[in-house]
A and B are shown apart, each in its own frame.
Chain A
């Protein structure tokens, strides 16, 4: 593993890079390989989607990028430097609705990382929070407490909270998986519009092929047990208006072909 010691030349346009990333987790019967030798790069304003069946370790990769778990080998670089634990340069939007802190109003939830991690004053943070919440369409729920919101509104608030913190890379772990179909489709559209406007860099994890093609500019397909790279796709050509087009459908079929070792999960 000589590569590990070789410093990569500075490539200012790369926001996030994973090099020979291998992850394993401990069970009572020893260590199990979760992800083996994954490489990917996300340039600024790109949206990379990790797609694969359950058990492919896509969420583990995201957790490693967030700094929650340490890789057993390989490197993760943000803006060319190795990450050291979790940090507000990589804000995560989780799938779970309880990611909003129930003891804070929606506004204070969004202001929270700005205050504790970015050193903003309370007033500044609240102004920024209001701006972000208006962007995701929650201008009428600023003072509401999270438990009074619907699932979709909670995820919108979580996205606003992540965007307001202006991370270098935005990490999303199946953020729409627990939503009903209509809400999910609305949030996908709104996320794409926000991406057009704000040009954020995104690492997105999903098991839905259609969502992956729609959201991503690049797809990274993984196989399960352990997670290995199967294929990569460039899906930057597809936008909101292309859902249902022949090209879009053909790509779904193409991608599905790579994942058909476990068709039920891939099609979900």
Chain B
């Protein structure tokens, strides 16, 4: 039970910090506090640098960007652009994850398909998704389908690679336990391989998410989501053309904020509820 004892106080401390901010030393030790200090520090450096540089057309300050962000949120289509981008992103991401899981599951059952997956991954993983955009536009026209095509390409291969290596490193004992209970095929994959490979799968999800964001914003800089509703990349591109540099920064800040929220609000929570709770990842 000594292991358990060393696990418990950690969780207890974290909990107490968020509820009891009266104690200063505890506050300083909390991750959220340190993270906030880092963010505030970056904002202060930005502000000082921009004021000293004094060319808001090239480098708007933090406060100018914040004001532009607020203005764009209230009076312009920043929120709609962000939602449009996120919508397309989620479609492409979910599709890529589903395809990836199926591909890797099938590949784990058959040596030929395994070789096929590894070859495809080796071929397509280094190929930047954005390089496929001209081809996608030729095939699918200017619109959501082209974006989803490049999104799937950007997420699928790194995710498949991470998941496949996770499947490969499933301990022999887990495999034998599953086979011992007569598990085969899809049930074996779903009940043994996927949970056992969950640390790699989650890391694949994170890598895939970052790749998807990059690809989408880059692709949207070329054209919007569709003629009627542009995404965040399109928002940035339009404002740059009109030299609203503060709005460009507001658009970039939106990309960053969504990235931070997903990383800390979604993936960290997912990890805490799964692989960390299970002791499969520190």
Q: Do A and B come from one complex?
A: yes
> Chain A residues in contact with chain B, CB under 8 A?
66-68, 85-88, 90-92, 94, 96, 98-99, 101-103, 112-113, 116-117, 144-150, 165
- In the complex, the chain A residue whose C-beta lies closest to that of B4 is A148
B274–A103 touching, CB < 8 Å: yes
B274–A150 touching, CB < 8 Å: no
User: Of the 9-residue stretches B41-49, B170-178, B232-240, B261-269, which lies at the interface with chain A?
Assistant: B170-178
B181 in contact (CB, < 8 A): yes
Q: From known contacts A94-B173, A103-B195, infer whether A117 and B280 are also in contact, taking CB-CB under 8 Å.
A: no
B182–A88 touching, CB < 8 Å: yes
Q: From known contacts A103-B195, A149-B3, infer whether A86 and B180 are also in contact, taking CB-CB under 8 Å.
A: yes
Q: From known contacts A88-B180, A88-B181, A150-B1, infer whether A102 and B173 are also in contact, taking CB-CB under 8 Å.
A: no
B118 in contact (CB, < 8 A): no
A117–B181 touching, CB < 8 Å: yes
Q: Which residues of chain A are within 8 angstroms of B20 by Cβ–Cβ distance?
A: none
A117–B182 touching, CB < 8 Å: yes
From the candidates A68, A87, A94, A148, name the one contacting B279 in the complex (CB within 8 A). A148
Contact code string B244-282 (vs A, CB < 8 Å = 1, else 0): 000000000000000000000000000000100111100
From the candidates A92, A102, A144, A149, name the one contacting B180 in the complex (CB within 8 A). A92
B198 in contact (CB, < 8 A): yes
Cβ contacts A to B, 19 pairs, < 8 Å:
A66-B176, A67-B179, A88-B181, A88-B182, A92-B176, A94-B173, A94-B176, A99-B174, A101-B177, A103-B195, A103-B198, A112-B181, A145-B278, A147-B3, A148-B1, A148-B3, A149-B4, A150-B1, A165-B181
The CA of A113 and the CA of B182, in the complex, are separated in Å by 9
B195–A87 touching, CB < 8 Å: no
The CA of A93 and the CA of B171, in the complex, are separated in Å by 15
The CA of A148 and the CA of B181, in the complex, are separated in Å by 25
- Chain B contact patch, size range: 20 to 34
The CA of A104 and the CA of B154, in the complex, are separated in Å by 33
B15 in contact (CB, < 8 A): no
The CA of A149 and the CA of B3, in the complex, are separated in Å by 7
Tell me the dominant secondary structure on chain B's binding face.
Answer: helix
Q: Which residues of chain B are within 8 angstroms of A96 by Cβ–Cβ distance?
A: 171, 173
Q: Which residues of chain B are within 8 angstroms of A67 by Cβ–Cβ distance?
A: 179
The CA of A79 and the CA of B183, in the complex, are separated in Å by 22
B183–A116 touching, CB < 8 Å: yes
Q: From known contacts A88-B180, A117-B182, A145-B279, infer whether A99 and B173 are also in contact, taking CB-CB under 8 Å.
A: yes
A87–B182 touching, CB < 8 Å: yes
- In the complex, the chain B residue whose C-beta lies closest to that of A117 is B181
B163 in contact (CB, < 8 A): no
Q: From known contacts A116-B187, A148-B3, A150-B1, infer whether A102 and B181 are also in contact, taking CB-CB under 8 Å.
A: no
- In the complex, the chain B residue whose C-beta lies closest to that of A87 is B182
B228 in contact (CB, < 8 A): no
Q: Which residues of chain A are within 8 angstroms of B280 by Cβ–Cβ distance?
A: 102-103, 147
- In the complex, the chain B residue whose C-beta lies closest to that of A144 is B4
B94 in contact (CB, < 8 A): no
A86–B3 touching, CB < 8 Å: no
Q: Which residues of chain A are within 8 angstroms of B278 by Cβ–Cβ distance?
A: 102-103, 145, 147
Interface centre among A103, A145, A150, A165 (most CB of B within 10 A): A103
Minimum distance in angstroms from B270 CB to a CB of chain A = 13
Interface residues of B in 1-58 (CB under 8 A from A): 1-4, 7
- In the complex, the chain B residue whose C-beta lies closest to that of A63 is B176
The CA of A101 and the CA of B176, in the complex, are separated in Å by 11
B85 in contact (CB, < 8 A): no
The CA of A165 and the CA of B277, in the complex, are separated in Å by 27
- In the complex, the chain B residue whose C-beta lies closest to that of A162 is B180
Known: A85-B182, A94-B173. 13 other contacts (CB 8 A): A68-B176, A87-B182, A92-B176, A92-B180, A102-B278, A103-B195, A103-B278, A112-B181, A148-B4, A148-B7, A148-B279, A150-B1, A150-B3
Contact code string B171-214 (vs A, CB < 8 Å = 1, else 0): 10110110111110001000110011010000000000000000
- In the complex, the chain B residue whose C-beta lies closest to that of A90 is B180
Minimum distance in angstroms from A158 CB to a CB of chain B = 9
